[in-house]
Amino acid sequence: MEDDRRIVDELECSSSSMMMMKSAEKKGSMEKKSRKPRFAFQTRSQVDILDDGYRWRKYGQKAVKNNTFPRSYYRCTHQGCNVKKQIQRLSKDEGIVVTTYEGMHSHPIQNSTDNFEHILTQMQIYSSF
């Protein structure tokens, strides 16, 4: 009888220790995801979407707490490129657009931005501030 109890105790211990090992394995496998690099730019502009040479698809928009302007979410349209960007106006200064990029493009610029005249005209418009 004592042998039977010892076997039952060993089985209970081994099953509980196995459960503990499995939960420890799960915790170990749930390491923090490595974050993609983020870059944020503040630009004084009347236009929300600035031409950066890449093509984007809007996939969402949400209202942000303590801000009168919504935040828009975009993905790069190039196949296999996982770069995302967020665009939002500052509530303190409506003329400033904050653009945040997450990730690095895995391809060259799609739209040629060799002609910077549109950027120069925007700079001239806002240089009077």
CA neighbor of 84 nearest in space, from 71, 67, 68, 70: 71
Query: Do 94 and 66 lie in a common domain?
Result: yes
Structural domain span for residue 1: 1-31
Domain count, the chain: 2
Global confidence as pTM: 0.59
Query: Do 82 and 106 lie in a common domain?
Result: yes
Longest dimension (CA), the chain: 95
Query: Do 6 and 43 lie in a common domain?
Result: no
Query: Do 81 and 21 lie in a common domain?
Result: no
pLDDT tens-digit profile of 79-95? 999 999 999 999 899 89
Q: Are the C-beta atoms of 129 and 44 separated by less than 8 Å?
A: yes
pLDDT tens-digit profile of 15-31? 444 444 444 445 555 56
pLDDT band at 51 (very low <50, low <70, confident <90, very high): confident
CATH classification at residue 65: 2.20.25.80
pLDDT tens-digit profile of 3-15? 544 444 444 444 4
